[in-house]
């Protein structure tokens, strides 16, 4: 028999009311209060944070000049002068300056704060044009065209120049004209009449020593406008070769037999249609589409075009006085 129950029965002769209480006994109110639903054992005592200190939490605050803060330890109060090397310098109203370690331990309007050094904005990577030049703000807007010009022999040559140097040329205001063939160069120069501030640069196709093209270029440069004319050319059979062969899946541009039209022979190697000029044009568009920037172009062409741009803009570059 339960001992506690037996004791109750011996005390009251076993008498209990309908709710099981012993008649005449006053309920223990203190015990009832101790086990109320609001007691400290109500809930999960193992839950995170149940024993966390009830101290004020420092709020992060970004430093700024003239911010008034108080060092909680020393009571020194002053305005922020500057911060460097993990320290913040405060100046009080009497002009006294003290240095404190950046972080927690400060008060602002009586509230605890943790001072934080402002995060510097990430440096923006300079945008570059396809030629590798740094693009200046507003550089995509064309300037008023200069009197100077660059003539490019060959339509494909002109398209490649536009793809790589188009942004640069618009920025400096240089217009590129199409030259049908170098045989027309002497007449073009006479009509253009170059002079100071009106220079003429010419990019010729396959300009190699001893060739007819080279003799024409030399004659023009010896003429009366020679001081203001510069004729340069790449050594390639066609400007297609100025594109690095890796861009079209080749280790090197192949040698095409003399009895085969060069572009048609290249299309044959690349397994591209070449029955007519429309096919050749589509083949060139496919090759040009593989050109991303100056790094896909062979050095001789890059050198020629850069030199021509410098030449035609020489009279328009501001000089220090």
Q: Do 69 and 169 sit in the same domain of this protein? A: no
Q: Are residues 278 and 299 in the same domain?
A: no
75-81 long-range contacts, Cβ below 8 Å, gap at least 24?
A: 76/100
Question: Please, are residues 238 and 211 in contact by the beta-carbon 8 Å criterion?
Answer: no
Asked if 150 and 299 sit in the same domain, the reply is yes
Is residue 111 located within the same domain as residue 251?
Answer: no
* pTM for the structure as a whole: 0.57
Is there a domain that residue 43 lies in?
no
pLDDT in tens, the chain (321 residues): 454 454 444 444 455 555 555 555 555 454 344 444 444 445 555 555 555 556 678 899 999 988 999 999 999 999 999 898 888 999 998 888 898 999 999 999 889 999 999 887 555 566 677 766 656 555 555 567 789 999 999 999 999 999 999 988 988 889 999 898 899 999 999 999 999 999 999 999 888 888 888 999 999 999 999 999 999 998 898 999 999 999 999 999 999 999 999 999 999 999 999 999 999 999 999 999 999 999 999 999 999 999 999 999 998 765 544
CA pair distance 167, 141, nearest whole angstrom = 9
Q: How wide is the angle at C-alpha 228 spanned by C-alphas 220 and 131, nearest 5°?
A: 100
In terms of C-beta density within 10 A (0-12 exposed, 13-18 middle, 19 or more buried), how is residue 101 classed?
A: exposed
Beta bridge partners of 71: 106
**Mapping DSSP to helix (H, G, I), strand (E, B) and coil, where does residue 6 land?**
helix
- The CATH number given to whatever domain includes residue 159 is 3.40.50
> What's phi and psi for 103, nearest 5 deg?
140, -150
Tally of domains in the chain: 3
- Count of CB atoms within 10 A of residue 164's CB? 23
Q: How far apart are CA 307 and CA 230, in angstroms?
A: 9
**Beta sheet of 59-62, edge-to-edge order:** 59-62, 111-116, 106-108, 68-71, 77-84, 87-91, 97-101
Residues 109 and 216 in one domain: no
Has residue 161 been placed in a domain?
yes
71 in a domain, yes or no? yes
Q: Say whether both 144 and 195 belong to one domain.
A: yes
Question: Could you tell me if residue 53 is inside a domain?
Answer: no
CATH, residue 108: 2.30.30
User: For residue 269, what are the domain limits?
Assistant: 244-290
314 and 188 in a single domain? The answer is: yes
25 found inside a domain: no
Cβ neighbours of 166 (radius 10 Å): 16
Does 177 lie in the same domain as 309? yes
Residue 119: phi and psi, rounded to 5, are -80, 125
């Amino acid at each position: 028999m339960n001992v506690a129950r037996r004791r109750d029965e011996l005390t009251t002769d076993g008498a209990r009311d309908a709710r099981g209480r012993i008649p005449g006994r006053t309920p223990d109110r203190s015990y009832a209060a101790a086990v109320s639903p609001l007691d400290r054992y109500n809930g999960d005592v193992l839950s995170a944070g149940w024993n966390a200190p009830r101290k004020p939490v420092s709020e992060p605050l970004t430093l700024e000049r003239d911010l008034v803060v108080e060092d909680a330890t020393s009571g020194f109060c002053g305005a922020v002068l500057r911060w460097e090397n993990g320290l913040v310098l405060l100046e009080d109203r009497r002009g006294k300056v003290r240095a404190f370690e950046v972080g927690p331990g400060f008060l602002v309007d009586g509230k605890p704060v943790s001072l934080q050094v402002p995060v510097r904005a990430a440096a923006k990577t300079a945008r570059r044009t396809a030629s590798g030049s740094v693009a200046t703000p507003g550089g995509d807007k064309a300037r008023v065209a200069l009197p100077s010009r660059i003539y490019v022999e060959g339509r494909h040559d002109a398209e490649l120049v536009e793809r790589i140097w188009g942004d640069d040329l618009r920025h400096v205001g240089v217009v590129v004209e199409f030259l049908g063939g170098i045989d027309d160069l002497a007449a073009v120069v006479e009509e253009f009449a170059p002079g100071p501030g009106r220079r003429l640069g010419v990019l010729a196709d396959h300009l190699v020593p001893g060739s007819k093209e080279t003799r024409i270029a030399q004659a023009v440069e010896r003429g009366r406008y020679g001081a203001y004319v510069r004729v340069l050319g790449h050594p390639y059979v066609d400007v297609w070769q100025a594109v690095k062969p890796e861009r079209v899946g080749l280790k090197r541009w192949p040698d095409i037999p003399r009895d085969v039209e060069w572009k048609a022979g290249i299309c044959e190697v690349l397994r591209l249609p070449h029955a007519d000029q429309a096919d050749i044009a589509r083949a060139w568009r496919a090759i040009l589409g593989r050109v991303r920037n100056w790094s896909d172009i062979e050095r001789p062409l890059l050198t020629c075009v850069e030199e021509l741009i410098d030449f035609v803009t020489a009279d328009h570059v501001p000089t220090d006085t």
